[in-house]
Every structure is written in C-alpha cells, then in structure tokens.
Structure 1
C-alpha cells in the first residue's frame, strides 16, 4: 500500500505540474482569436527537432515583424532576402520578411497577420508563415490558405519573450525550430530578376515614402553600395548593430482599400492589393528607374518592366518592396 500511495502521490504531482505548465503557456501564448495577444515568456528548454517532412522543398519562411518605434531595433532583419513594407491600422506600418538563402538565429519582434498577407504569400510554394495572432474571423482564411501557419499556438517551442522590450513588442522566433534548413534561392518565386543595371534612370540620393502615420527614407550610400534605411526619421539599425542598406528598393504603387476586418480599437485594416498592375519606381546603384509592375494572378510572381519595355533587373542582394498608395 505504501508503494501504491507513493505512486499515486507521484502521479498527482506530475499531473499538477503538467496542469500548471499548461496554464502558464496558455496565459503566455498568443491566441489566434486575438490580435497580438501574449505568447511564451521564456525560451523552452525542450526543443523537438524540425520535421523535414513538414517543410516542402523550396518553401521559404515569412515572418510578420513589428515596426512601431517601441519594437525597434528589430532582430534578424538583415538576413532576409526580401522585406515587404505595408500599411496597417492607424496609418502605421508593418514588415513581412522572407527568408530563403539563410536563417538567422532569431527574428522579431513578431506580430499579427493581415488578410492581404495571404494574397501576397500566394506567390510562394507553401511558405511557412510565422505570426503572433490574427482576427478571429480571419482564421478560416488562414486555415484554407496554401501555407504552413506557425503561430505560438501551433509551435510554442519556436517562440520566446525577450527582456529588452515590453509586451507585445518582445515576441521572437527561432527559425531553426520551424525549418530544418534554409531552402535556397529557388524558393524565391517572386518573379524578381537580378542582373546588371539597365540603361537610363536618373541619379538619386534619397527617396521617402509616407503613410499617414509612418515614413520610410532610403538614402544612397556608395560605401555600402546600398540604400540606408530610416524609419520615421530614425536610422534603421538591427540589434547586432548593422545599419540596414538593401541593394534594391522598390516603391510599388498599389491600391490600398478598406478590408472587412478591424483591430480591437475599431480601426479598419487596410487591404493592400498586390495582384494586378501599376506603376513602380526601382532604386538601385544610386539611380531611380521608372517601371511598371504586373502580377496577373495570385499564384504568379511580380514582374517589373523598365520604361523601354525591357525586364527590370534588380541588384544582387536584399530587396525592400514598399507598397505605396497609387496616386
């Protein structure tokens, strides 16, 4: 009986410990029904190995990244192959970073997904999407989208809370806990083409794109052979001390309309239409090139055409695409 009683006490202790851990994670995890709710406050010690069968060959990682001043400096942004900047509620901005050629040790702060992100990601082959939450009514669309959704609800072991910022601006991702390895350049099915600069263009030293409550400024740096990024007038530096300087910046003029969703304050979410065609400006090699963009269907990449009708090539290196309201 003593042995049985001891076994019962051990089992009860284990059950209580498991319940406590579950409650703790539930309190700390981002519920997909809420926008940017809380997520794990610590780095889990048990890390299951990534399952290669869950990641299709050539499938990149896309991460929604916070971009308000309280979230800066960001982590892991310099390793992205493509960074998309989009307008969100209140005229603010958020970033979508796409990783294919290398995976940084950490990325963040991670924030919530928007409806138009699902359309933007259709150009990739079943990408893994890391995000912190979503509107409850958006969940069925996420479930149906041709992507692998990995919020802290699905992969709590991949996320942790940093100590340098206040919630909700301190949720970070360990990419290696979602993907076994970087998929490589073939995963970048964006339609972008890289090569020598085309003829023409005009010399450019700086370009600013404004949203109602945010702005991006790109200043040409011959020393970096790239465009130094500033957000809201402040130089953009990652947590490792590197100043962001993408080789190519694309100002893509798109229709930004009101979606059917809104945030907790009642502000309607802008919907950025990335399927269609329109005007664009491509910055590379210290010059500005007038271009047009075309993406006939959601599953297509986006092609850019120079003023003379030739395909617009980008400079080798990181590309920033800023979605600007069409005039």
Structure 2
C-alpha cells in the first residue's frame, strides 16, 4: 500500500472493537443466565433511589427534576469513571459485557411469560392470574384466559423494547455510561413515573426522560418486529401507521402495534388497575383475540427482535466509529 493510500484508509478508534464485542457478550450472557436471583445491580440502584426519594420528596416538579438528574447523572458518571480506570482493551470489553448483562432483562422476561403460559396450559387460571402480576400492574382477579394472555403479550412487547432493545441502543451510542444512565432512567420511571396523587408532579421528569430515551429503541423494535415476522410484515406496518399514535405512550404504542400485526392478534382494550383506575386503550391490530398459544409465539418474536438489536448495536459500534483523516493530513 502506498503512503497516499494508507492516508486515505479509514482508522477505527481503539474503543470500538471492545465495545462491540462486549455488547454481544453481555447479550449472550443475559440469554444464557438471565437476571441474578440475589444482589442484582438494578435492585441495588432501586434501593438507593428509594432512600433518596424519602430524603427529598416534595410534591413539585423541581424536586422531581433534582431526583432524576442526581440519580441518572450519578449513574452516567459512575459508568464514565469505570471506563476510564479499567485497564486495557480486554478490560473495557469485559466491563461493557458486565454492564450490558446487568441492564438487560430479556431472558427473565421470557421466563416470566412462559411461567404464565404453563399455568394456562394446565388449566390453572387462578395461578396464571397470580403469576401475571409479576409482569403487569393490573388487577388480574377477574381476567379470563384471553385477557391474561393479552396482558402477557403486551408486557412482552413493551419490555422487549424497554429492557432489551433500548439498552442496547444506548450501549452502542454511549458505552457503559449510556447503559447505566438508560437503566437508571428506566428504573426511576418504573418507581415514580406514575399518574397518581403522589407522583403526578414529582415523577414528571423521570417519566418524560424515560419517554425521550426510549424513542430510538421503540422505533428500532418496531422495525425489527416487522422484519422478524415476514408473513405478518404488512399487517405490522399497517398497525404501526394506523394504531400506534392512539396509545397514551409514544413508545409502547409502536411496539404494541407492530407485535399485534406481526402475530396476527388484537391488543389493547380496557385495563383495570388496583384501586379505581380504569383505562380504555385503543385496539391495535386486525387479528383475532389472544389465546394462550400466543404467549410462546410472542416470546419467540421477542427473542428474534433482541438478537437483531444486538447485531445492529454491535454493527453500529464497529462501523460508526470510523475517523477519516482531515484534508490537512493528506
């Protein structure tokens, strides 16, 4: 190769390969192991967040902004510091793999969904109703088998985006700080981002930040769900274009609609939550009502979406961090 040709060749930054490989390793580890039963890092963050809430809670947005910025910012700073001090390329790869595994929840989501399916397959509806409370916050006491199934499929769709695709996106964009910052924001939304008397103002910042951070992940999830179910691709696209905007969440609507179209079922409808809150959500998809066999179908689709997201994230890191020499250096 001539000197001029060498100058024209692209140069990859030193951190791209460890990050790409680390993301893939972390994804594989989640698929093989799932969440740890004890001492989960996300649970530890939740404990810290709960203590912080007790210390500075007030019924106003300013305190909620302080809560969100401090905890999410702290997670980002922690990730950046860890990346800075870890030794060598192998160290960065292992750190990225560990962080990716810690923030992903795909395998555990699949286990919970299939546990509900096992109860339904055994005609044990009361046990299925109890099991599904681990996935959704609805009042499940009066749900029939179809409604239990719908709750599971909707949870699989939404959490595939929130707990698999979106973390991979932010890991590709921001490395370990992106992974930890995203998971911190998502965890805070689950803790305080609710429309109720206590959190309407205090949880506003956490809910809005989570919506913002999930925008790219939900769109990628929709694309991958469409691509992963070729026989239902047209229905998935139609449901996305027609139904997604009617969902109260700018992100859950996208993944719910595309999963409904890809699986050939109807999602959405009336949800009753503990207390007196009832939500009437738009129906998504043109298919039939859900039935128990749709649960393993949804987890298989979610698995394909997760694999696609991991490959996209790694490819983005590997190809998107190329620096071309400036004209002055030629």
With the length of structure 1 as denominator, give the TM-score of the two structures: 0.26
